[in-house]
Amino acid sequence: MSGSSESLVFSTGSATGPTAVLNSIKDTSMPAPGKGPKESYSFWPLFLGVTSIVAAYFLARKDPTATLSEVYALCSEQANGVHIVDHDNSKAQCVVVNGSYIADIGSLETIKNSWDDKSLQIRFVKPGAIIIPGISDSHAHILEYGATQQLPLEEARSIQDAVARVREYILLTPEIYNDTSRVITGGGWDHTVWPTTGWPSAVRVNFHATDLAYSSKYQSDLDADGVIRGRHVILQSKDCHALWVSSKVIEASLPLPETIEGGVIVRDDSGRPTGVLLDNAQDLLKQPELTESDLLRRFKVAVRDAHRYGLTSIHDAGLDPVSLAFFKRKAETGTLPIRIYGMTYFNEDEPYWGNTTIPIIGSVNDRLSARSVKIFADGALRTGGAALYETYSDNPATNGFMRLDAEVLFDVIPKFLRDGWQVNVHAIGDRANGIVLDAFEASLSGANVTALRPRLEHAQMMTPADMIRLGKLGVIASVQPAHVISDMWYAQDRLGPDRVKSLYAFRSLVDNGARITLGSDFPVESMNPLFGFYAAITRKSPTGQSPHGPEGWFPEQRLSREEALRGMTIDAAYASFTETYLGSLEIGKRADFTVLSRNIMNIPVEEILGTEVYATVIDGKPVYGSI
């Protein structure tokens, strides 16, 4: 990424309209931690976006490039079947689309009176259906989802079951079965639901026949299977913070260091790697470079499912250089079929690139932006890497770990903010969130936070004092409600009955003034945004269960339906600087919307997950279903 120079199209990157954006560029200095006097913070990307922001804001009702067939009204039989998701949560009966833009909203009668009904097609959604703004997922991993879908392991209920699924995949895939050099990738395994404790492994390659204890202990693991043995197998965990690999992969990556900061190489009693690597240790594996065909196959799978679930926009939480280059190639050829807001991956071992790389803002029809940086502060709760103030209740030997030193955060966060980048930091444990908020607080002193919009990715576990501080600082909380109903079954054992109350405390975050945006973290959780919507408002499993009974797990922390809907539409747009043209069905915005078979805003919660997506529409044209 360092030193790149690109010809880019700048689009909206505003606050709330042209005047607000111009005002936001004022007050552009803040102290950098440890730097003494204030240094000037340049917001040149915002300046460059002003012209297009103004154009979008004052968009006329009619798109002059639209043909007659691209001007239509989509209406509901109900007077309130269109959920606009504006400031007042208004509703309407019809939305008028002119080419790629929303041209009007109102009742059927009003629309007929305002438009020549001879030239305006009037279409109706099916009875009971509603129209909402196009759904955004604020935290996901696009190409990683495509990779895991090749060999999904989330349903595996034991090590033996997971191994059997790998074996079956090989046997049913001739090009892999007949070529032992092919790398086999999959993901989604979850050791927290397996009956055994501890990690899975690969069999030690050269164990002696007399080492029966070792052979018996690991007889169900990867290399014990004759079909799998000798192949390169790389399996990502459900939370994406651990890799389970075969001995062949370990051999190809030798020598491995004894330790690695911010990560763990799981070893047996003799000190040999067992085949599981956590967090930063995952980067030690030598993996083959992905081909364009590999990337395209993964991308097509992810986009196909995203459209099917009603998604029109995805915030990709951690673009490595390969992924970002692929998305840029697709955007430049006009073939990005979904909007992508990319978070560029931060590698502390590389030179600082914030002042040498140009942010991508609304490239090619607002389909691709990459104006933020993603930094990992700690690991994950599921794998025991979340950084806590106190030790884990189920493992008093550790309190997790930081993947970066606090000094790095205090150094790079103000630099990225100064150079016009949004800063998004992964933080799970209460200690990690506290340290990151310390760095944000120091970096944001005197700054216009609305112009910068820093984000805590996950904001999963916070002390009450830090929840208050989050709201006061104006840092966005990017949360994933589906994690609640996955983690609630083991969370108290891991944290104890008192600390667990500060986990996924969404209501407390909102009540303390935090702005939240919702995502799924797919492939960690289901891509279906209605699953996250359901989890946010119920905090119970799809079958209506929770450790605290039918009212849900800590039901006082539930979000309202309005808050959840805004979190996956207009608030997601705000979190990606796109609220002037996405996130709501207001006149002049892009015609991105989703048609649902049921009104999720008032049906019984038990019916939400049975709701279908009738259509997903981007720029006025269906990419899934029909209208």
Give the span between the Cα atoms of 225 and 174, in whole angstroms: 18
Give the span between the Cα atoms of 389 and 183, in whole angstroms: 40
Q: Is 577 helix (H, G, I), strand (E, B) or coil?
A: coil
- Specify the pLDDT at position 68: 52
595 — pLDDT class (breaks 50, 70, 90): very high
- Specify the pLDDT at position 589: 98
Instruction: Copy the structure tokens of residue 598.
Output: 């049921």
- Specify the pLDDT at position 118: 65
pLDDT tens-place string over residues 478-487: 999 999 999 9
* CATH code 3.30.420.10 for 142-284: no
Tell me which of 275 and 536 has the higher pLDDT: 536
Phi-psi region of 27 (alpha: psi -120 to 50; beta: other; left: phi over 0): left
| Residue 71 near residue 121 (C-beta atoms within 8 A) | yes
* Torsion angle, alpha carbons of 317, 241, 144, 310, to 10: -60
Give the span between the Cα atoms of 262 and 163, in whole angstroms: 28
Among 64-73, 271-280, 281-290, 459-468, which is the least confidently predicted range? 64-73
Average pLDDT, the chain: 87
pLDDT tens-place string over residues 92-135: 999 999 999 999 999 999 999 999 766 799 999 999 999 999 99
Among 167-171, 287-291, 576-580, which is the least confidently predicted range? 287-291
- Specify the pLDDT at position 195: 87
Q: What's 584's DSSP letter?
A: S
Instruction: Copy the structure tokens of residue 622.
Output: 């269906």
- What share of the chain in percent tops pLDDT 90? 69
Tell me which of 468 and 267 has the higher pLDDT: 468
- Specify the pLDDT at position 69: 64
150 — pLDDT class (breaks 50, 70, 90): confident
- Specify the pLDDT at position 15: 33
Q: Is the confidence at residue 365, as pLDDT, over 50?
A: yes
In a 10 Å sphere around its CB, with 0-12 CB exposed, 13-18 middle and 19+ buried, how is residue 333 labelled? exposed
* Torsion angle, alpha carbons of 327, 328, 333, 337, to 10: 30
In this structure, the chain runs to a length of 627
Give mean pLDDT, residues 400-425: 97
| Residue 167 near residue 211 (C-beta atoms within 8 A) | no
SS (H, E, C) 422-454: EEEEEECCHHHHHHHHHHHHHHHCCCCHHHHCC
- Specify the pLDDT at position 290: 83
Give the span between the Cα atoms of 274 and 246, in whole angstroms: 9
Per-range mean pLDDT, top range of 246-250, 259-263, 474-478: 474-478
Q: What are the angstrom distances between the C-alpha of 140 and each of 8, 454, 519?
A: 24, 17, 7
pTM for the full predicted model: 0.81
- Specify the pLDDT at position 277: 92
Q: What is the CATH number of domain 309-582?
A: 3.20.20.140
| Residue 169 near residue 161 (C-beta atoms within 8 A) | no
Domain ranges of the chain: 142-284, 309-582
Q: What are the angstrom distances between the C-alpha of 101 and each of 62, 516, 572?
A: 8, 27, 19
Give the span between the Cα atoms of 48 and 4, in whole angstroms: 18
- What share of the chain in percent tops pLDDT 70? 85
